[in-house]
Chains A and B, each alone.
Chain A
């Protein structure tokens, strides 16, 4: 990476430690939302569909089925609004981007859990 970009992010981007997760894992992302002037923490539980980008601008996308409708949310890794990430299940998948889940629903949209 460019030395200047690296220097700027060493100064400005807060360090964060998350559990190691990858595409196909089931995670809960706890993020801050402002509601009526007050700040509270909300969880978003779903499967990681992709991890995109490098360095301080990297993001990950979490997909969940809410009332039968698929919802995807993109979280920047180093956003101050992402409080923590909890790893619930490690999934067994064969690719890094799980776009195929978008065309599936119900039983076929499940991800097998990896036996440890």
Chain B
């Protein structure tokens, strides 16, 4: 993340995303596959790290083996096998959705994980319970803990979609796209940008 200034002096926080070039590695049609979709590949990987099946699959689109492959259902325009898609499909000022995997936080308690307030008192018989979850249900009725009860556990590493991020700037020669605000995931992680 970084921030840039508008000419009138306002500072906007934004994230730089390297979006593409993506190669069309497979075209799925309604007749052959039952649904229409485009398979896009991003990021080269070495031939010695790919299986023969992968090398053969990517050779159909005359491209090197790709490390990330994603299918887009009902893509908004028709593309042929081997064609590249760059940031030029986006326009400045447009709103986009960004999907990513959030940073893993490990095993966390209920205060951090679910926003509980803990047991709010330090006196009145409370001791070492500032971040405790409190009661998790009744006694003889229902004699069990309800499903989905919010408790401590693994936090983060979830797929999250951020909607309505503004495209601040586009650098088509470097395939950089600047979106306003932050984006899920650590530095260098892979995200999906949807229009």
Contacts and interface: CB of A to CB of B under 8 A. Distances in A.
A12 B4 contact: yes
Contact of A8 (B7, B176, B187): B176
What size tier do the contact residues of chain B reach?
10 to 19
Interface in A9-37: 9, 11-13, 32
Identify the 5 closest CB pairs spanning chains A and B, nearest first. Answer: A81-B9, A4-B16, A80-B9, A5-B2, A12-B4
A7 B9 contact: no
A87 interface: no
Contacts of A78: 5
Interface of A: 2, 4-5, 7-9, 11-13, 32, 56-57, 76, 78-81
Interface of B: 2-5, 7-9, 11, 16, 18, 169, 171, 174, 176, 178, 187
A32 B2 contact: no
Given A12-B4, A79-B9, A80-B9, 11 more contacts: A4-B16, A5-B2, A7-B174, A7-B176, A8-B176, A9-B4, A12-B169, A32-B9, A57-B2, A78-B5, A81-B9
